[in-house]
Structure 1
């Protein structure tokens, strides 16, 4: 029997040297060790031998599922493969580890073929195992970006793979979809070892200090959790905050006509600032950002105001920020320009929430705008 042409290529690669020179017992014990390594790699477990097979395949929630694990048949196959591999450890590996064996070729051929058969179930497991598998999983456009989902996914990622996965998410961040992974990244940062987090942030800071590519920086902002902004060193933060301020100052909308229909597009200079919206309240220079927003809301150019209102409305109409005096001048000018969204928000605070202080501040401009919209509606 020419076993080389029967077994899988990886199995033959493991046994080839010893098998060809007649060291059959060593060949088969090496193969069982290889089977252990595959199961460890795919399950993320650090166990060995029978304990590994128990944790990986058996029980109500096995670490390495080789099928959907839903029907009784699927559960039976799952358990069967676990017991077969456990049996190989007990009946083949352990005796040869404790006693001297001199297996014949015919005996070893049968064992090798059997191991190759059982390993096929493990190889065909669809469960992400390698870091590359997990990377494909989280980069999928349908990945659910909620904190709860991130927590569930994290439970399935072996601890020893989390740091490498985090690094690779940022290394290949251009492949990620906008704002789909910041919860996942946050969970990974929270659960890796402290020394790993220090190393990750150190390397990230070094990269960001020399990053002048807006596209790469936008993808960083899309992935990095805003609440972790303080983890960056001051020099990195100030550099990025300055780039965002510059983008914000230049940002505006412009109109394109597509088949006769108006389509408003953001200019390329302002794109970076839009990606940074969720970070602005964590910026060390946030008051400077607020001042830029106030100035843009006061701008006589409607395309500048539309850009500000459309993309930064959740900031400029934030009740707490308005009450603290931010954007007061800009909102007054916006009301004078009869910007409808500004009117609707201030009218809500003054007449529905009945904030008397805001009524005093914006009352005159609000009444003028109210009359304007009443006339134009008629």
Structure 2
């Protein structure tokens, strides 16, 4: 029987080189490596050998369930396959990993055919974690928007499935509630390695590469944590920041109907986005200039959506334009500016701006530290 045409193509592609070179023991090890990776990928487990088999196939609710586990025969099959797989690692893989073997073609064929048979059984089996089913709970209308619920939900995802789940959430984000998805992704990213998060951001970068859609940009700004903004591909990042810059530059807020006349997209920018923007100085100049030179609607737009963010990103190292704006306002005794400065520093005893504006504050003894009343 021709091995090449009688086993699964994916398996053959892995073992072909060693098998064709008559390195039959190595081909056997390749085969069991495929078996190991198949089990890991199906379950999300990270173990190896007997430990991996026990975690995947053992217990009352095994991660890989070969049948309904209702009858005694069902349970015997589950246990029997588990024992066979343990035996493969103990009697076949481990000796060939530690000692020099010189298996014949016939021996290799017998083992490879049998492992192929086991792979087919595993392929037909059920797993306790089904991504599509799990995602219905992430996208449902009754998602509980709390850190505790989100963390409990994330804990159900096998480690190897976390990246795929995160990518699925990003790709399907328009189908869900963005606040729910924000809670979920925050909890999920906290469980993921940095390299895995980078994989997600490759997808995010592709989603942003060509789009001009406010919805595309808005959802990407809001759902993943702003602290990861620098993981967007730089060329994409610069382009999106330019779209946002032009949007905010036109920003106006109509107080009569409590809506943005222009610049709604820019209001989704968070402080952590702002501090990581490539042209930070240009942003500072533009925002402060709208406060200084803009009409009432422009000033209200900045004060409503950007003043607190400006203060946050400039708290420890204040930008020249913002510093000049506040200093000039204090010299002119501009009540609007003085009120903004007071509200920013009066309840923070160690706020750096006490020192930055120390000279100017001497003329305003009414601005002093006050303890919060609670």
TM-score under structure 1 normalisation?
A: 0.57
Q: Partners in 2 of 1:352 and 1:190 — Cα distance?
A: 30
83 and 340 in structure 1: CA distance in 2 versus 1, 3 angstrom threshold: farther
| 1:294-333 alignment, distance < 5 Å | 294-318=288-312, 320-321=315-316, 323=318, 325-331=320-326, 332-333=328-329
Contact 1:53 1:82 in 2 (8 A): no
CA distance in 2, matches of 1:344, 1:134: 49
Report the 3-state secondary structure (helix = DSSP H, G, I; strand = E; otherwise coil) of the residue aligned with 2:309. Answer: helix
Cα gap change, 1:86 to 1:166, in 2 (>3 Å) = farther
Distance (Å, rounded) in 1 between the aligned partners of 2:134 and 2:247: 34
The one of 252, 258, 264 equivalent to 1:264 is: 258
Unaligned runs of 5+ in 2: 1-39, 85-125, 368-374
> Which residue of structure 2 aligns with residue 252 of structure 1?
252
Could you say if the C-alpha distance between residues 213 and 88 of structure 1 is closer, same or farther in structure 2, counting changes exceeding 3 Å?
Answer: same
Query: Bigger CA drift: 158-167 or 231-240?
Result: 158-167
Residue-by-residue CA offset, 1:267-305 (whole Å, 9 max, x unaligned): 3x3122111124111222222222222112213522222
Structure 1: which 5+ residue stretches go unaligned? 1-39, 65-80, 99-122, 257-262, 371-378
CA distance in 1, matches of 2:159, 2:71: 24
Alignment of 1:1-378 (within 5 A): 52=56, 54-55=58-59, 57=61, 84=70, 88-90=74-76, 94=80, 129-140=129-140, 142-146=143-147, 149-182=149-182, 184-186=184-186, 188-189=188-189, 199-256=199-256, 263-267=257-261, 269-278=262-271, 279-318=273-312, 320-321=315-316, 323=318, 325-331=320-326, 332-333=328-329, 336=334, 338=336, 341-342=339-340, 344-345=342-343, 348=346, 355=354, 357-361=356-360
- Answer whether contact 1:53 1:86 (CA < 8 A) is retained: no
Taking structure 2 as the reference length, the TM-score comes to 0.57
Query: Following the alignment from structure 1 to structure 2, what is the Cα–Cα distance between the partners of residues 191 and 350?
Result: 33
> CA 1:196–1:286 in 2, change beyond 3 Å: closer, same or farther?
same
Number of aligned residue pairs: give it: 273
Comparing both structures, which one devotes a greater share of its residues to helix?
1
User: Secondary structure of the equivalent of 1:317?
Assistant: helix
Following TM superposition, by how much is the alpha carbon of 1:217 offset from its aligned partner in structure 2, in angstroms?
0.6
| Residue 211 (structure 1) shift | 1.1
RMSD: 4.5
